[in-house]
Amino acid sequence: DAKTTQPNSMESNEEEPVHLPCNHSTISGTDYIHWYRQLPSQGPEYVIHGLTSNVNNRMASLAIAEDRKSSTLILHRATLRDAAVYYCILRVASGSARQLTFGSGTQLTVLP
Amino acid sequence: DTAVSQTPKYLVTQMGNDKSIKCEQNLGHDTMYWYKQDSKKFLKIMFSYNNKELIINETVPNRFSPKSPDKAHLNLHINSLELGDSAVYFCASSQIRVSTNEKLFFGSGTQLSVL
């Protein structure tokens, strides 16, 4: 099964950049890397996804290693509202439910 | 308007009871899901429906029965509730069938507590 490994928790200071790492050494060529975040008492929300190239959107940037065995979600300027659990998941092409299961994620704490 | 809405937000009930959680999406999506989040925060897929047709059923006890009256609704009925069913249940939807590229949109969850 394609799996991801993330640190359990990270801290950041407000208004500083945050780099959230994810390892996915068993990734295959057609697997997309997705990031979601879950704010307290809410459902997960989509952040960003990519396949091979780095991606930017209004919420974050996704940096994907050349060998695709790891990726980093970058929040350019953390705010208190970015405190959440961040999930890195692989969307595999097999069509099975494995691609839809989230791991335990990284709890990001933003300090004022 | 809330894109994916589920009710109730909190559900407290006794063991052995039967309960339902309702979910509606107004995004025009074809596919809907039910997820269970346990106390360790793992989110695990339970069911997926595409255009009212069951496409994923992940080793969930048959006490759990999803029902999709139309593609905008996916309700979850649970019979003979057990202590271990206590969790947060999330409904989600996506535009097309399970795909590597597709975004999921989640509801805000239903906290189920079985006493």
Write down the pLDDT at residue B73.
95
Contacts of B29 (CB under 8 A, 6+ apart): B71, B93, B94, B95, B105
pLDDT at position A11 over 80 = yes
Write down the pLDDT at residue B98.
59
Burial (CB < 10 A; 0-12, 13-18, 19+), residue B74, is: buried
Q: Residue B66 and residue B87: Cα distance in Å, rounded?
A: 17
Write down the pLDDT at residue B26.
95
Interface of B with A in 8-47 (CB under 8 A): 33, 35, 40-45
Residues of B in contact with A42 (CB under 8 A): 108-109
Question: Do residue A49 and residue B107 have CB atoms under 8 angstroms apart?
Answer: no
Q: Binning pLDDT at 50, 70 and 90, where does residue A57 land?
A: very high
Of chain A, the percentage scoring pLDDT greater than 90 comes to 75
Question: Do residue B45 and residue A101 have CB atoms under 8 angstroms apart?
Answer: yes
Here the tokens at position B36 are 């269970």
Residues of chain B scoring pLDDT < 70: 1, 97-101
| Amino acid letter, residue B51 | N
Kindly state whether B95 is in contact with chain A, defined as any CB-CB distance less than 8 angstroms: no
Name beta bridge partners: A48: A35
Among candidate residues B23, B34, B1, B5, the one with its CA nearest the CA of residue B108: B5
* pLDDT tens per residue across span A81-104: 999 999 999 887 655 555 677 878
Q: Is the peptide bond before B8 cis (omega within 30 degrees of 0)?
A: yes
Mutate which: A1, A62, A98, A100, vs B, most B CBs within 10 A: A100
Write down the pLDDT at residue A109.
97
Write down the pLDDT at residue A3.
82
Q: Residue B48 and residue B79: Cα distance in Å, rounded?
A: 19
The DSSP string of B86-114 is: -EEEEEEEESSSS-TTPPPEE---EEEEE
Give chain A's mean pLDDT: 90
Interval A24-44 mean pLDDT: 91
Interval A46-75 mean pLDDT: 94
Number of neighbouring beta carbons within 10 Å of residue A53: 8
